Chain A
Amino acid sequence: MFMFTQPDPVLESTAGQHVEKEKNRFVKLLFKYNAVVLLIVMFIVATILSPYFLTPENMFNVLRQQSTFMLVGLGMLLVMLTGGIDLSVSSTVTVSSIMVCYCLKPLLMQNQSWGLLVSVILAIVIGFAFGCINGFFISVLNMPAFIVTLAMMYAGRGVAFIITDANTILLDQSVPANEVFVAFATGADPVLHLPYPTYVMIALIIVIGLVLHFTAFGRLITAVGSNETAVQLAGVNSKKYKFWAYAICGALCGVAGVILAARTGSGTALSTSVSYDMTSIAAVVIGGASLKGGEGNVPMTIVGVFVLAIIGNIMNLVGVGVYPQLVVKAVIIILAVLLKSISSKRVD
C-alpha cells in the first residue's frame, strides 16, 4: 500500500542500534580511507611477491622516481580542490626540464659560476609562467579549465620541440656545473642515504600541506571548489584563489622539471609523452579528491601517489610487462574510486 509509518523516535535510540551505529562508523572510516588500506595491502603483497621489494636500494629508487610525480600531484591537488583540472602538466614539466639544459649548454651558462643557479631559477619561472597563463584564462576570462589546459598542453609540446629542434640536449658531465647538477639527483646524503630530490619533495609537501590546511589561502581554495557562487556572494574574490592554484601548480611542475633534467642529465621533448597529467589526476582521485572540487588533502594525495608507485614497482620487480601493467593500474584506479562512490552513497 501507499503507507509508510512515521519513524519512531523511541525505537531509534535502542542499545542494539547503538552498536550498529558504531559498526557503521567503522565501515564509514574504512571507506573514507580506502586508499590507506589499499596501500597497506599492496605493501604486504609486494613484500611477499619479491624479496627485493623492501631493500633500501629499491625503496630509495621508488622515492627518487616518485619525487617528480609527487610534486606534480601536489600541484594537481591545488587545482582540483578549486574544481578545476590541469592537463598541461606534462608539457610544463618537459619545457622546464629543457629550459635548464638549454641554459646550461647552448646558452653556455655551464661555464659561469652562477650559471647553474640561474638556469634552475629560470626553469622554475617558466613553469610558473605556464601556470599563470592557465590561471589567467581560467579565472579572469572565465574559460573552461579543460579546454585552456588542453591548449597549453599542445603549446608546451610544440615549444619543447621547437627549442630542442627535436633533438636531445645531453649535458656534458665533465663540466663541473653539470656534474654537480646530475649528482644532486643521482646522489644521496651521507647520513640517511636518502636521495636529495626526496628532501626537496618532503620540504614542498610540508610547505603545501601547511599552506593548505593552516592558512586562509588554503581554506579559501577549498571553499571556492566547494561552491564558487556562494563564496563570491560571501564577499571573497574567488578569481584570485583560482589563479594562484594554477600558478603554484605550474611552479611545482617547474621544480619537477628541474629534478627530471638532473636525473637524466638531459632535456628532451619526448618527456611530454610521460603521463604526468593522468598519473597525478589518478593519484589525487585515489586520495579521495572529487573532480567537482572542495574535497581532498595533502596526506591522502601522498598515499595516492605511492599506491600508483608501488603497483608499478612491484610489477617491474616480478617482471610483468609494461602493457599488462597499464591494465592492472586501471583496475586499481577504478577500484579505489568505486569504493569512494559507494561510500558517499552510503552517507547520503
Chain B
Amino acid sequence: MADYEYAVEMKGIYKAFEGVHALEDVQLSVKPGEIHALMGENGAGKSTLIKVLSGAHLADAGEVFIRGEQVHIHTTKDANNLGVSVIYQEFALVPHLSVAENIFIDEFGSEIKIIDWKLLHQRARDALDAIGFGDIDPRTPVRDLSVAYQQVVEICKALTRNAEILVLDEPTAVLTTKEVDKLFQLIMDLRDRGVAIIYISHRLEEIFRITNRITVFKDGRYVGTVETADMQPKTLVAMMIGRDLASFFPPRLDQKIGDVVLKVENISAGRMVKDASFELHEGEVLGLSGLVGAGRTETVRAILGVDKMESGKVWLHGEEVHLKSAKDAFDKGIGFLPEDRKNQGVLLKLPIKYNITLSAIKKVVAVFGWIKRKFETAFALDIREKVGIKTNNINNPVSSLSGGNQQKVAIARILASDSKVLILDEPTRGVDVGAKMEIFKLINELIAQDYAVLMISSEMVEIIGMCDRAVVFREGMTVGEVPKEDLTEENLIHFAMGI
C-alpha cells in the first residue's frame, strides 16, 4: 500500500449560503478500500460536503487532501483529474446516446477525433465485462435501460476515468430489491479492489449491510466517525438526532381539536401514489412522515388537482370535492405551500409586497382590477407583522431576503388569502435554526385560531415535536397512523422502513 492512510481527508470545512451556515468545521476521512457511510438528516450538510469535494461548490475555508497531498479543487474537472467521481441521484447521462458513447463521452473532442465505432463498442464491452455487467449492449440508447442499469453505466463511466474515490448519493432510492443486491455486489467488488467509496443513504439497513465506517453530521456540524461493527441502529439514530432537540419546539398554545375538515380516501395517482387515506381535524397539526420519495408530495398534489388523481375521494368540510387546480383549492379555502421554495414558493425577482398579495389579489382591487396601492401596502404590512418577516422595505425583491424570511413570505401569501386549511410541504427546508423556530411558533399560533395544518416533513424530529398525529407513507401508501403519545423515532422508522 502507498504511504498514505486516507484516500480522502477533508478538514475544517466551512461553507455558508447567504449567511446561513451549511457546513461548520466539518471533517471526513475515507480510507482506500472501505465503504464509508455519510449519515445525517435531510439538510445536515452531506450533499454540500460532497459538492465541495467534487468542485461544484467552493468551500469558504478548509483543507482537502487526496492520497495524502493537499489539493485545491475549483471545478468538477479538477475533481475528475484527481480520481474523484460523484454519482448523483439524477444521473449525468445523455439519454439519447448509446451506452458506449456515454461511457466515453469525455474523450470525444479530445482523445477521440474520428470515431472508430467497432473499437468504441469493444472498449465499452470490456469495461462493462470487467465489472460483471457484460450483458449490457453498448449500442443501446441509455434511455432504454432500467434505472439500475443506467446507474451501472454511470459507475462504469467513472471507473474508465480511473476513479479511485467514488461517491454514491442515495443510489438505491429508485431500485428494486434484486437490483440493489446486484449493485451492492458491484460496490463490494470495487471496495476489494481498493476504491474508496463514500456512500450516502437514509436506509439504515443498507448502511449496516455494506459499510465499514460511518460519519455522522447534524445541522452542518460533524458529530463523529464510528466503526459500523460497533454500532446498533438505535445508537446510530441517537447520534443523528441528538437529544437536545426536544426542547427546541415552542409550546403549543391553547388548542381544541374540532371536526374533520379534510378527509381523503384511497387516493392513487401516477407511479408514486398507490393508496393514501387520512383525516385532518380543525385545530390540529397532522404530520405526513416517511422517507424522501415515499409519495407524500405527490399525494398532496393529486388532492389539489395539480396532478391528475386516478382514483379516490376527497371531502372538504364534509362535502365531496373534485379540485382541478391550485386555484380551485385556494377558492375553496385550502392554502398550499410547495416544497421547492425558490422555484415554486415565491417569485424571487418580484417585490415582497407583490408576493404577499399574489394569492389574494382580489382583496386589494377596486373596479376594473385597479389595485388600491395604499390599501395593498397596509394589507401587506399587516401580514408581514403577523408572520414576522424581517425586512425594512416590502418593495424589495424577495431575493434580497434570507431563506427563512423568503419562506415566511410564502407563508404570508397563503395567510393573506384567508385559507383555513393549510398544506405545508417541508415548511422548514433550507432555513436556519432560528427561522425554523419562528415558523413553528407561527404554526402554533395558527392552530390556536382554529386553522388546520397538514405538514409534510422528512425530518422525524419535526414531526415528533410539532404534530398532534402523524400518518406514515411508504412506497406511495399510508402504512400507519401514530397518535401523539406514541410519536417516537422508533415508531416512525418502524412504519417508514417497514422493519
Contacts and interface: CB of A to CB of B under 8 A. Distances in A.
A275 interface: no
Contact of A230 (B329, B344, B362, B371): B344
Given A226-B349, A234-B326, A294-B350, A214 B371 contact: yes
A229 B60 CA distance: 33
B63 A223 contact: no
B347 A230 contact: yes
A232 B325 CA distance: 8
A6 to B, nearest CB: 7
Interface in A219-240: 219-220, 222-223, 226-227, 229-237
Interface stretch (B100-108, B205-213, B353-361): B353-361
Given A226-B350, A230-B346, A215 B368 contact: yes
A4 interface: yes
Given A216-B369, A223-B350, A231 B60 contact: no
Sort chain A's interface into a size bin: 20 to 34
A3 interface: yes
Contacts of B63: 1-3
B408 to A, nearest CB: 15
Contacts of B417: 235
Residue of A1, A4, A216 with most partner-chain B CB within 10 A? A216
A216 B365 contact: yes
A137 interface: no
A196 interface: no
Given A215-B369, A217-B369, A223-B358, A233 B306 contact: yes
Interface stretch (B115-123, B330-338, B448-456): B330-338
Contacts of B343: 227, 229-230
Instruction: Give the size range of B's interface with the partner.
Output: 35 or more
B358 A234 contact: yes
A235 B62 CA distance: 45
Contacts of A227: 343-344, 347-348
B59 A2 contact: yes
B350 A222 contact: yes
Interface string A288-327: 0000001100000000000000000000000000000000
A234 B409 CA distance: 12
Contacts of A6: 14, 60-61
B312 interface: no
B61 A4 contact: yes
With most chain B CB atoms within 10 A of its CB, the pick from A222, A230, A232, A236 is A230
Given A215-B368, A230-B345, A235 B350 contact: no
B361 A229 contact: no
6 closest cross-chain pairs (CB), A and B: A235-B330, A215-B369, A216-B369, A235-B327, A226-B347, A216-B361
Interface of A: 1-6, 214-217, 219-220, 222-223, 226-227, 229-237, 294-295
